[in-house]
Every structure is written in structure tokens, then in C-alpha cells.
Amino acid sequence: MAARRCNPNRFAGIHVLARRIQVYAEVCRLTPSTMPPLELAMATVALDAPVEAPSEVLLVDDDELVLSAYARLLRVSGYAVTRANDGRAALQLVLAEPGRFDLVVSDIMMPGLDGMSFLRALRGTSPELPVILVTAWPTISSAAEAVEYGATRYLRKPIEWPALHAAVEHTLVASRSDKARRTEARTAREASARVTTLALHRALASLTMAFQPIVHSESRQVFAYEALMRPTESSMNTPKAVLDAAESVGSLSALGARVRALVSEVARAPDAPPLFVNLHPQDLLDEALFRENMPLSAFASKVVFELTERAPLDQVVDAVDRVERLRSMGFRIAIDDLGAGFAGLATLALIQPDFVKIDMSLVRAIDRDERRRKIVCSLAALCHDMNIRVIAEGVETVAECEALVGCGCELLQGYLFGRPKRSLLPPA
């Protein structure tokens, strides 16, 4: 015969019932000598059996009779109840012990801090705490505001006990379910972040750099090289994958430091050419970037920091001051991808860079697209007027090259002049 499975919920229900009998006895002032035998036995079970802590409800109402009646009924149903006579007192209770309450049931019309003002203030500190609002004077505007600020119920007074009890039970069940989902999602995110962090550490340890030439448009002689990441980690085998991972786990500073350390190995060579090194706007917040012992500081005259368009520069409040600190150390500044992403004319005016790189989306097929040609020619003329040198990137054909030269782009970069190569250093 198959063994019968034990249902733990059955015993949990008994414990809750026993607790309610205890509360009932307290409310009715019953003693063991006056309590019926069955109730006495159940109360004894409640004393001995471990039970889950009851949900705690904060009742808020300026009517003492209503407050007392609802508090007694909720306690009989097995809830822990705390009372407050106005919104200000209720808010102080919530702020004093964050996470203490599982539910708030509040009147709307109260002197001082009314229920709606209390709800708005509550959302600033406890956005996930469920709130049931009750009122004797419902209006469309107050109902809409209740929804806006996340009230889970909007009930009209007078409320029959079964309706209030059902609303409380339903709200608490839904809240526990939401909390469980949030906990599960947070656990999954944390596990994913741990996996990403480990993979990122491997990617940084095995990271290499490649260098693509930037040439003079007339002589085709190499002017500089751009340093480009070349990850070898199997789970992050593209620069974008590494950047996305670093952003997701807050390790952009570690990635930037690793790139600069690798580039410094090339920059220290006596005959090293100028090197363009990508700099994420968030790297400007890393104080290590400005230290004299930073790997590239000793070679600042050879290095152009290329501000990428991965994020808007205005996220860094003192970006201009930080860029000027880099200039004072001897570094030059370029703006990458002008004409795409976040890099626009506002950034050009804000930073006043030494170089501007025109994005390849404007360069592609410029010889066959009059609109692109006019935009690039206008940008190049503007930059020349501001004493900014122009680099057109992503050049792949002779026709594109000729069109860009005609627009006044003095520096060019792209597969037409060379693919990225692993090393600029001569063999040992």
C-alpha cells in the first residue's frame, strides 16, 4: 500500500486556528477554567507549537471607535495590529522600523497629514508596502490619485467586516507572492552577476590589444594608431560583450585600467607612435585615472584619449573639469563617433577636443550619397574653424576616400589603409 503523503499546510492551518482561539480568549477575557475543552486543547497546542509570526497591519484613522473596532476584529483573525490616529504618526512608525509592517489600512479624511498625503510620503520611503485606503467621501480624483501612488484597494465607508477582512487577506496574499517573485528575481540577478563577474575576470586576464592605423589623407603615412580590445574569453569574445559585462556588474573602472596598462606596454617604446585609447565617460569618475603613477601618465604626450559614445557625457557632472585635468597632464582629447549616438555638436562645444572622429555611418557610401557628403563637409569645415583636426573612420573604398579628401578630412582610418594588428613592437 502506498504511503500517505503528509500535507504540511494542514498543520499550518491548525496552528493559525489555534492562535485565533488564543486571541479570541484574550479578547473575551476567558481563562482555562471557563474555556470549553476543545478550545482549551487548541490553545494548548498553540502554546507548544511553533507558528509563523503573524502579519502586522498598521491601522490609521482619526475615529477612535472605528480604530478600536477594526483593531479588535483583525486581532481576532490572527493579525498583529498597530494603531495610529493620523498620517503623521503613522509615517513616523513606518520610518522608525523599516520593514516592520506588512500592510497599511488608512482613512483618507484626517486632520493634519491626511491619508493621501501620507500615501505620497510613504512611497518615497517604502515603495513596496501595500496600502488600502478607505473613505466615506469617495471621488474620482482621489481614486485616480490612489491608483497613481500604488494603493492596492480603495474602499468606501462604512465597511462591513467581511469585506475588509477579504481585502486584507487578498492584499497580503498578493503582497507575499510579489515579494517571493522579487526575491526570486533578485537571487537570479545576483547569481547571473556572479557568473558574469567570473567570466569578466577571465576576459580581463586574457585580454589583448590590436592597433589600427590612422593615416594622413594626402601622404598616406601613418599618423597614429587606435588601440582596440581583442578579448579571447570564449563567453565574451567581442569588445561589445566585454563592455556590456563590465557595465552590468559595475566594473568599468577595472576594464579601463586593464586597457591602459596594456597600452602602456606599447607606449613606453622610444619610437612608439601616437596612440588613441578609448575612454568611457564613466572612466572620468575614476580618480585613479588622474594619478601620476597611472600606467599611461609617463607617456601622456603620446596618448589621445578618445571619449566614446557608450553613454552621454552629461552623466558626469564635472566632465569638463575632469577633461581639463587630463589635458594638464599632457593628454590630448578626441570625440569619437561624431554624428551618431550621444556624440553631437553640444559635446563638441562642451569639450573643445583636439580631434573629432566622424562616425562611419556618415562615411559609408559617401561618394554616392549627396546628403552624407554635405553633412561631412559641413562638419569638417566647422572643425577646421575651431582648430580641431578631423578623422574620418570606417573608410573601405577608394571612392569613399576621395570624397572625404574633397570634404577636407585630413586624417583617415579604415580597412582601406590597414586592419588592426596585434602588435606594434618589433619581435624580441
Long-range contacts of 345-351 (CB under 8 A, 24+ apart): 347/307, 347/313, 348/383, 348/386, 348/388, 350/313, 350/319, 350/320, 351/307, 351/313, 351/319, 351/320, 351/323
CA distance 112 to 124: 19
Q: What mean pLDDT value characterizes the chain? A: 85
pLDDT in tens, 84-99: 999 999 999 999 999 8
pLDDT of residue 343: 55
pLDDT in tens, 166-189: 999 999 999 999 989 999 999 999
Domain of 131, in residue numbers: 53-178
pLDDT over 90 (residue 141): no
Specify whether 241 is located in the same domain as 173.
no
Sheet of 153-156: strand order equals: 80-84, 56-60, 103-107, 131-135, 153-156
Specify whether 219 is located in the same domain as 296.
yes
Specify whether 325 is located in the same domain as 232.
yes
CATH number of the domain residue 245 falls in: 3.20.20.450
pLDDT of residue 17: 52
Enter the DSSP assignment of 59. Answer: E
* Residue at 20 is within a domain: no
Percent of the chain with pLDDT over 70: 85
Question: What would the mean pLDDT of 378-385 be, rounded to a whole number?
Answer: 94
Specify whether 303 is located in the same domain as 353.
yes
CA distance 388 to 85: 68
Question: What would the mean pLDDT of 230-246 be, rounded to a whole number?
Answer: 92
pLDDT over 60 (residue 128): yes
pLDDT in tens, 294-341: 889 999 999 999 998 667 777 788 889 999 999 999 999 999 888 765
* Residue at 28 is within a domain: no
pLDDT over 50 (residue 2): no
Specify whether 195 is located in the same domain as 149.
no
Question: What would the mean pLDDT of 47-54 be, rounded to a whole number?
Answer: 59
> H or E stretch including 70?
helix 64-76
pLDDT of residue 47: 46
φ/ψ (deg, to 5) at 225: -130, 145
Specify whether 220 is located in the same domain as 253.
yes
Specify whether 220 is located in the same domain as 170.
no
pLDDT of residue 270: 86
Question: What would the mean pLDDT of 266-289 be, rounded to a whole number?
Answer: 92
Specify whether 248 is located in the same domain as 380.
yes
pLDDT over 60 (residue 51): no
CA distance 19 to 16: 5
Specify whether 172 is located in the same domain as 202.
no
* Residue at 419 is within a domain: no
Name the pLDDT band for 428 (thresholds 50, 70, 90).
very low
Number of domains in the chain: 2
Per-range mean pLDDT, top range of 22-26, 225-229, 334-338:
225-229
Specify whether 168 is located in the same domain as 204.
no
Enter the DSSP assignment of 330. Answer: T
CA distance 392 to 396: 11
* Residue at 10 is within a domain: no
pLDDT of residue 8: 40
Question: What would the mean pLDDT of 366-390 be, rounded to a whole number?
Answer: 94
Specify whether 324 is located in the same domain as 225.
yes
Residue where one domain finishes, among candidates 142, 157, 178? 178
pLDDT over 50 (residue 124): yes
